[in-house]
Structure 1
């Protein structure tokens, strides 16, 4: 089982229509948050996942739990935060279908995870995934850091920064916390947009080599329609993205991450030793599978991640 750590919230999609003079805006609320999406996306692909996050006792928090249960995600590591609210992310799409976010989160349950709430992990947890703004908001950031230090030594650890500067504007804070989590991660998946926003270059080679000099064994840089680059200690592999008729890209990165974890689990790669043993061909097959899954998500509105049966020629 994979323990996915980080935020759970509601994405509220805003649509003002074509009449700029109209005052009304239509809204549609969808359960989300990057780690939340990875957890249920992995379950939809046939993997086993559990989510560790703070969950409010309000109506929206109860709804998040119902969604997780319906999707088959293990809820035993959820921490109820009765004095906090559920984070809301307002989402509007730009002309290219890319999401633009505004967050309402100051008293969000997902950013209130405390040291005292950390669980002891049983042997069923073979890997830990961390990512997105939970890496930088206190006390959740420090709490997850303690978890990784304590429980990640002999488990696979994966990381997806999924930078959200609307949540935390201080780039130095992002760089400092990302450096910490990267030093404990076996696999780092990062977008060229995240690299550009923090390090002023989306190419990724230099940063990948820096991370690979430590514990990290594989760095995957996603570049949207421009493909994917995978960096190992022995070289670089570039792969194209499969073309699709995209509706929007919401949830595509989370789908890619969930598919990576699924592929690793099914090919004896969900361990530090398993990642070390990956061949170049293994990496090509894994990235191709993840690209195919992310492509399905791009063909529909919002974070509607695919089921395994929807992936033609699935591995």
Structure 2
């Protein structure tokens, strides 16, 4: 089981404008919510550990995860509202996020809630803004410390400065996780947002030196590069696609990568460190194809395994 930790919320989009009003459309989302959904749709076994409100939106999020087959036994149900995030798109099609709410459910995860997370989880995935806002950030750090050496620790910072604007908090989180993560997936945009003058290869080298076993950097339309501690380096081009928007693309890529590793029996640090070139290329290609499908449609509508199989013969190892 892969335990995905962090936020579930609603993304709100402008669906139209009138003289005195704006029509809004709300879609379930949040990077960890998307990841858990994507894992389940791609045949992975996923559990969600994040605060799910008992309000109308929280009940919808809970029902949606359950319908996808995501295990919800670990998810706390705090008496707090669901976070809402306004999503716009800039001239390049890149999402821009504005957060609405305070004291919301995703932040209300306590140390006591960690007892819900099974100690024998294959992997623990943390990331996004829940790693930099309290009290949930401290709770997730405690979970990482508890599970180090027991579970594969996976991290995707998924930087959102418009939601949590304290850049030093993000940098501290990245530095802390570089010393504890087994797998680190990050976008080029995230690196440049946190370290404007840092080269991508410098970030990769620093992460490997700090102890990360596998670093994966997504480059958008230029594809993806991955490097292991054994200095195996692989580049895979992006899959050509007509882009509608890129909301959820990074989450889809991460879901594809983890689903491939789980199906291949590679969800341990030793297995990740021992990946050979053909295996890593297959994993990245599978993840890139999944991300391309998400980019071809509106919002974070992550694909099912059958959609990838229809597009191309699956690279995923068969049981």
**TM-score normalised by structure 2 residue count:** 0.94
Counterpart of 2:221 (choices 214, 221, 225) is 225
- Say whether residues 1:204 and 2:190 are aligned partners: no
**How far did 1:58 drift?**
1.0
Q: Partner of 1:281 in structure 2?
A: 278
Correspondence 1:59 to 2:56? yes
2:291 match: 294
Q: Which residue of 2 aligns with 1:107?
A: 103
Structure 2 match to 1:46: 43
Alignment of 1:87-236 (within 5 A): 87-119=83-115, 121-122=117-118, 125-201=121-197, 203-233=199-229, 234-236=231-233
What do you get for the CA RMSD once the two structures are aligned?
1.4
- What TM-score, normalized to structure 1? 0.95
Residue ranges of structure 2 left out of the alignment (5+ in a row): none
**Residues 120 and 76 of structure 1, relative CA distance in 2, 3 Å threshold:** closer
Pair 1:248 & 2:245 matched: yes
How far does the alpha carbon of each residue in 1:68-120 deviate from its partner, in whole angstroms, 9 at most, with x for none?
A: 111111000110111x1100001122233221111113111101111122125
Partners of 2:261 and 2:267 within 8 A in 1 = yes
Change (3 A) 1:298 1:124: same
Q: Give distance in 1, aligned partners of 2:259 and 2:213.
A: 18
Q: CA deviation at 1:153?
A: 2.2
CA drift of 1:214 comes to: 2.9
**Alpha carbons 2:34, 2:252 under 8 Å: kept:** yes
Cα offsets for 1:112-170 (capped at 9, x unmatched):
11112212543652100011001100111110000010123221011100001012211
Give distance in 1, aligned partners of 2:66 and 2:245. 27
1:89 alignment partner, SS class:
strand
Once the two structures are superposed, what CA deviation does each residue of 1:171-204 show, in whole Å capped at 9, x if it has no partner? Answer: 1111111211221111100000000010114641
Aligned partners of 2:7 and 2:179: how far apart in 1? 21
Please give the per-residue CA displacement for 1:215-268, whole angstroms capped at 9, x wherever unaligned.
311101101001111122314322210110111101110000000000001112
Listed as ranges, the matches of 1:11-90 within 5 Å are 11-16=11-16, 22-82=19-79, 84-90=80-86
SS of equivalent to 1:55: coil
Inter-partner Cα distance in structure 1 for 2:94 and 2:132: 23
Identify the residue that residue 260 of structure 2 maps to in structure 1. 263
C-alpha distance in 2, partners of 1:141/1:121? 16
- Mean Cα displacement is larger for which, 279-288 or 252-261? 279-288
Please say if residues 97 and 163 of structure 2, whose CA atoms lie closer than 8 Å, have aligned partners that are also in contact.
no
Distance 1:121 1:165 in 2: 28
Partners of 2:259 and 2:241 in 1: CA distance: 22
The CA distance in 2 between the partners of 1:116 and 1:263, in whole Å, is 32
Q: Is the 8 A contact 1:189 1:221 kept in 2?
A: yes
| Secondary structure class of the residue paired with 1:179 | helix
Residues 25 and 300 from structure 1, CA distance in 2 versus in 1: closer, same or farther, beyond 3 angstroms? same
Cα–Cα, structure 1 residues 200 and 305, in superposed 2: closer, same or farther, change >3 Å? same
Aligned positions, number: 311
Q: 5+ unaligned residues in a row in structure 1: which ranges?
A: none
Secondary structure of residue in 2 paired with 1:213: helix
Segment drifting more, 205-214 vs 44-53:
205-214
Question: Partners in 2 of 1:120 and 1:92 — Cα distance?
Answer: 35
C-alpha spacing 1:201/1:235, structure 2 compared with 1 (3 Å): farther
Local SS of the residue matching 2:52: strand
Cα distance in 1, alignment partners of residues 187 and 244 from structure 2: 19
Q: Which residue of 2 aligns with 1:10?
A: 10
CA distance in 2, matches of 1:34, 1:24: 29
